[in-house]
């Protein structure tokens, strides 16, 4: 059996490599012609065999290029072409034309497959960017990268600048906060010292005042009817000065405490407070109109109206004292206390709100000169303002604003 297969293989090899008439016979044994064909076919075969090696090297180094089927078919086509030239060299002496025919048939099949594949990939290859286009794209990308790097550097610089400014602002705020806390502590200490001073001063001043008052009363009691009228007038003036000094001490205490000890803020009807003030002053001369409700510490509003109504009754001995009010812009209520007294010149409109300021001699109209200063301090401490509208012979109207109570609050 083995011998049979060997015999068949030998017969096939002999059939395939059957030697026909050498080509050199056709070339009439001319050496120059034989040499020219021999060298040409040999060189072409070497060149063809080197091309597949170059393709393999290229594909392995650049696997990203793509189209592997085209490269494989083209390598096989070139390799087969080189083989035909090798057989052409052999055919000069012992031409195996049957083998040469099969190799050419295989070359034909591979060349057709290569051509078909090339036409299939041609649109894709043509759509690829050219070197000039790739350079333009690379330049664009390079410019974009440069712009992006510049933007990132600018952003980093801006972030650094912002961080620096934030740190500086933080230090400033911390310094301001520390200074504010120091100022608050100092103010608290000063207020405490002021309270203590006012209390001690009022106590120390009232003691001799009580002594003077008692002594004058004892003198008047001891002398009795024998006291001359002029001396009796002097004792009366002395008692009046003592009362004025006592009122002045009370005014100083009220001014020092005004606005610093505040009760609960609530919706207050100023008309109700005005009626309470009229009862406290035991007068029926107060005329009270409708006034919108305000948000206030009731005691503070009462103190303001008590001073203003008391002044009006004191400086306008006759005629009504009118109280009215209306809501104004900014969420405020303007309250007006008007009298029909002698009025005040415009040049004194600011002066009267100062401490210890009176326009009439104290022997004619008793007063400490502190009441309006207390009123101004309380009004401004609640976010309002006060002004005077008056002229000689036309009465006086004290107009002050106070925060209005929110809608619906009772």
Sign of the dihedral defined by the CA atoms of residues 326, 370, 354, 395, in that order: positive
Class of CATH domain 264-403: alpha beta
pLDDT at 365 (0 to 100): 44
The tens digit of pLDDT for each residue in 315-336 reads 888 889 999 999 998 889 999 9
pLDDT at 371 (0 to 100): 75
pLDDT score of 239 more than 90: no
Using pLDDT thresholds of 50, 70 and 90, give the confidence band for residue 400. very high
- Give burial (CB, 10 Å; 0-12/13-18/19+) of 126: exposed
pLDDT score of 269 more than 90: yes
- Give burial (CB, 10 Å; 0-12/13-18/19+) of 266: middle
pLDDT at 362 (0 to 100): 45
Mean pLDDT for the stretch of residues 366-379: 74
Provide the pairing of β-strand 286-288 with 321-328. parallel
pLDDT at 366 (0 to 100): 47
Residues 6 or more apart from 267 whose CB is under 8 A from it? 293, 294, 295, 405, 406, 409, 410
Assigned token pair, 237: 């003036």
pLDDT at 271 (0 to 100): 92
| DSSP state at residue 261 | S
Q: At what angle do helices 298-315 and 371-381 cross, to 10 degrees?
A: 150
The beta strand positions in 33-138, using DSSP E, are none
For residue 273, the Cα-to-chain-centroid distance in whole angstroms is 46
- Could you tell me which residue, 353 or 170, shows the higher pLDDT? 170
pLDDT score of 171 more than 60: yes
Assigned token pair, 64: 């990203």
pLDDT score of 103 more than 70: yes
76-90, 128-142, 186-200, 350-364: the lowest-pLDDT one = 350-364
Cα–Cα nearest to 390, from 339, 325, 315, 328: 339
The tens digit of pLDDT for each residue in 173-207 reads 988 888 888 888 877 776 666 666 666 555 555 56
pLDDT cut 70: percent of the chain above it = 76
SS3 helix, strand, coil % of the chain, rounded to 5?
65, 10, 25
pLDDT at 81 (0 to 100): 87
Cα radius of gyration rounded to whole Å, the chain: 61
The tens digit of pLDDT for each residue in 202-238 reads 555 556 666 676 767 777 676 766 777 777 777 677 7
pLDDT score of 142 more than 60: yes
pLDDT at 363 (0 to 100): 46
The tens digit of pLDDT for each residue in 294-305 reads 998 888 888 889
The enclosing H or E element of 91 equals none
Place of tokens 């003036």: 237
Residues 6 or more apart from 376 whose CB is under 8 A from it? 353, 386
For residue 362, the Cα-to-chain-centroid distance in whole angstroms is 60
Sign of the dihedral defined by the CA atoms of residues 100, 104, 105, 109, in that order: positive
The enclosing H or E element of 180 equals helix 131-223
Average pLDDT value over all residues in the chain: 79
């Amino acid at each position: 059996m083995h011998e049979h297969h060997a015999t068949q293989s030998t017969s096939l090899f002999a059939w395939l490599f059957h030697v026909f008439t050498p080509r050199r016979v056709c070339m009439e044994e001319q050496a120059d012609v034989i040499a020219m064909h021999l060298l040409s076919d040999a060189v072409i075969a070497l060149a063809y065999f080197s091309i597949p090696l170059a393709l393999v090297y290229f594909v392995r180094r650049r696997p990203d290029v793509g189209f592997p089927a085209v490269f494989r078919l083209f390598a096989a086509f070139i390799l087969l072409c080189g083989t035909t030239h090798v057989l052409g060299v052999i055919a000069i002496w012992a031409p195996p034309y049957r083998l040469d025919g099969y190799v050419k048939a295989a070359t034909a099949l591979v060349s057709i497959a290569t051509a078909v594949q090339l036409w299939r990939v041609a649109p894709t290859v043509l759509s690829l960017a050219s070197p000039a286009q790739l350079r333009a794209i690379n330049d664009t990308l390079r410019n974009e990268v440069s712009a992006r790097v510049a933007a990132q550097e600018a952003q980093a610089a801006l972030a650094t600048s912002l961080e620096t400014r934030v740190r500086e602002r933080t230090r400033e705020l911390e310094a301001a906060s520390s200074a504010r806390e120091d100022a608050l502590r100092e103010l608290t200490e000063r207020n405490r010292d002021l309270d203590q001073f006012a209390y001690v001063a009022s106590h120390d001043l009232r003691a001799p005042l009580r002594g003077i008052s008692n002594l004058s009363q004892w003198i008047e009691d001891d002398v009795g009817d024998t006291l001359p009228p002029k001396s009796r007038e002097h004792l009366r003036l002395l008692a009046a000065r003592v009362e004025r000094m006592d009122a002045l001490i009370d005014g100083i205490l009220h001014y020092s405490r005004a606005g610093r000890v505040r009760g609960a803020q609530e919706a207050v009807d100023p008309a109700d407070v005005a009626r309470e003030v009229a009862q406290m002053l035991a007068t029926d001369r107060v005329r009270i109109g409708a006034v919108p409700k305000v948000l206030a510490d009731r005691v503070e509003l009462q103190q303001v109206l008590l001073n203003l109504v008391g002044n009006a009754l004191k400086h306008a001995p006759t005629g009504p004292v009118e109280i009215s009010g209306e809501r104004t812009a900014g969420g405020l209520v303007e309250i007006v206390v008007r009298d029909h007294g002698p009025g005040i010149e415009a040049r004194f409109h600011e002066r009267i709100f100062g401490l210890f300021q009176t326009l009439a001699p104290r022997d004619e109209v008793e007063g400490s000169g502190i009441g309006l200063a207390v009123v101004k301090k309380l009004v401004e401490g609640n976010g309002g303002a006060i002004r005077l509208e008056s002229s000689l012979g036309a009465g006086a109207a004290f107009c002050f604003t106070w925060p209005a109570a929110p809608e619906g609050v009772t």
